[in-house]
Amino acid sequence: MRDTLDRLEQIPFPGLRRDRIQTLQMNLGYLCNLSCVHCHVAAGPNRTELMDWETMETALAFMQRQDIETLDVTGGSPEMNPHFRTLFSRAHAMGIQLMDRCNPTIIEEQGYHWIPAFLAEHRVQVVASLPCYQSDNVEKQRGKGSFDKSIAGLQKLNEQGYGDPDSGLELDLVYNPVGAHLPPDQNQLEQNYKQFLWKQFGIRFNRLFALTNMPIKRWGSLLLSTNQFDDYMDTLQGAHRSENMAQVMCRSLISVDWQGYVYDCDFNQMLGMGLGGKRTHLSELLDRDLRGDPIRVSGHCYGCTAGQGSSCGGALSEEEAAPMPRAAGQTG
């Protein structure tokens, strides 16, 4: 990670300052049933890092005092944290909007069949990762059998009403490019997803988020080992759109790691770039107003502003992203 961070810190990025915090994003741990190639947190079945209940209680207090609107949880597979249901039940009772960044294959694992009904009961917005609607591309990133499990998981969410516009239960999917290039036009890709998944599997969903792969953790290491890092960064910088900076999520969000330490965004968390340049625990921020504070930036931030732009909520603008020239031997 240090090699990647050193390279990124040499790339200047325009300054940003925070607005009012509306969203608390919490990484509940790195435990996951998959080990995806593009995973920017390097999650997997052998990871043991999990957020404890004491940290979650601090987060609940922070949300109450700061009038936070949305709790956005990620992982790993966040549902694998043993306190997941208690956290969501408490936050739901407080009137907090809930978002679960769900890997749908987890629904098919033994001991996790409760997920669809629980999420529906608590009116959770589900953001489910499905990096492509073609099985070959999904299994390149996620492993053999992951596509079929993803489809089965999404069908079980549909059975609870997710994706039905009349139910109010929102199911959004996430696309990630397979190769070292930017995602295509989000609107057109969404139509392709909807047509294929409905025709082939009877699956319905609300929106598609097309996310740029960040040059950090596993993906950054892969770029370095295949000598594509500099070309990829040139692509991100060359496709930068200044108008996207007004909409990046770090302006209204802070990210909390599994130990309770705070960062400007999930990507800064994975790079160890602490809030304000130091190691700050959420318990230190219960009554602090962060509006106007500078946001730590580096070269990876171009991943959020290139082309259509890309945040945790998908594309930021309507412009079509430019493809990256293929490197020798690249088949993505």
pLDDT the model gives residue 139? 67
- Tell me which residue range forms the domain holding 65: 2-305
pLDDT of res. 35? 67
> What is the model's pLDDT at position 218?
72
Residue 202, sorted as left (phi over 0), alpha (psi -120 to 50) or beta, turns out to be left
Binned at pLDDT 50, 70 and 90, residue 314 comes out as very low
Tell whether 311 is covered by a domain.
no
CA distances from 271 to 31, 86, 274 (A): 18, 29, 9
Domain count, the chain: 1
Query: Dihedral of CA 10/13/14/16: which sign?
Result: negative
Residues pairing with 98 in the sheet: 71
Looking at the predicted structure, is the pLDDT value of residue 330 above 90? no
Q: How far apart are CA 276 and CA 271, in angstroms?
A: 14
In a domain, 243, yes or no: yes
Paired residues of 253 in beta bridges = 23
- Asked if residues 208 and 173 have their Cβ atoms less than 8 Å apart, the reply is yes
Q: How many residues appear in the chain? A: 332
DSSP-derived letter for residue 75 is S
pLDDT bin (cut points 50, 70, 90) of residue 77 is: very high
Give me the torsion for CA of 4, 9, 10, 14, rounded to 10°. Answer: 130
Please report whether residue 330 resides in a domain.
no
Percent of the chain residues past pLDDT 90, beyond the cut: 55
Establish if 314 belongs to a structural domain: no
Across the range 2-17, mean pLDDT stands at 83
30-69 pLDDT per residue, tens: 999 876 665 667 778 889 999 999 999 999 999 999 999 9
pLDDT tens digits along 182-226: 888 888 999 999 999 999 999 999 999 988 888 887 778 888 888
Q: Where in the chain does DSSP place strands (E)? A: 16-17, 23-27, 70-74, 97-102, 125-129, 171-175, 207-210, 253-256, 262-263, 294-295
Q: What are phi and psi of 133, to 5 degrees?
A: -95, 0
Exposure string for 194-227, b = 16+ CB within 10 A, e = fewer: beebeeeeebbbbbbbbbbbbbbbbbbbbbbeee
Residue 310 lies in a domain: no
Q: Which residue has the higher pLDDT, 325 or 71?
A: 71
Tell me how far apart the alpha carbons of residues 213 and 39 are, in angstroms, rounded to a whole number.
Answer: 9
Could you report the per-residue pLDDT of 286-298, keeping only the tens digit for each? 999 999 999 999 9
User: What gap in Å lies between CA 240 and CA 285, rounded to an integer?
Assistant: 33
Confidence of residue 321 (pLDDT cuts 50, 70, 90): very low
Could you tell me if residue 261 is inside a domain?
yes
Please give the full DSSP string across 129-179, using - where no structure is assigned.
Answer: E-S-SSHHHHHHHH-TTHHHHHHHHHHHHHHTTTT-TTTT--EEEEE--SS
Bridge partners for 171 per DSSP: 126
The domain that contains 110 carries what CATH number? 3.20.20.70
Q: What is the CA radius of gyration of the chain?
A: 19
According to the model, what pLDDT value does residue 62 have?
98
Q: Is 313 domain-assigned?
A: no
Q: Report the Cα 185 to chain-centroid distance in Å.
A: 19
Predicted structure pTM score: 0.86
pLDDT digits (tens, 9 = 90+) for 92-142: 999 999 999 999 999 999 999 999 999 999 999 999 988 778 777 676 666
Look at residues 120, 137, 125 and name the one whose alpha carbon lies nearest to residue 173: 125
What lies within 8 Å, CB to CB, of 112 at 6+ separation is 79, 80, 106
| Inside any domain, residue 326 | no
Tokens representing residue 240 in the block: 């930068």
Spatial distance between the Cα atoms of 196 and 108, rounded to a whole number of angstroms: 22
Distance CA 229, CA 4 (A): 9
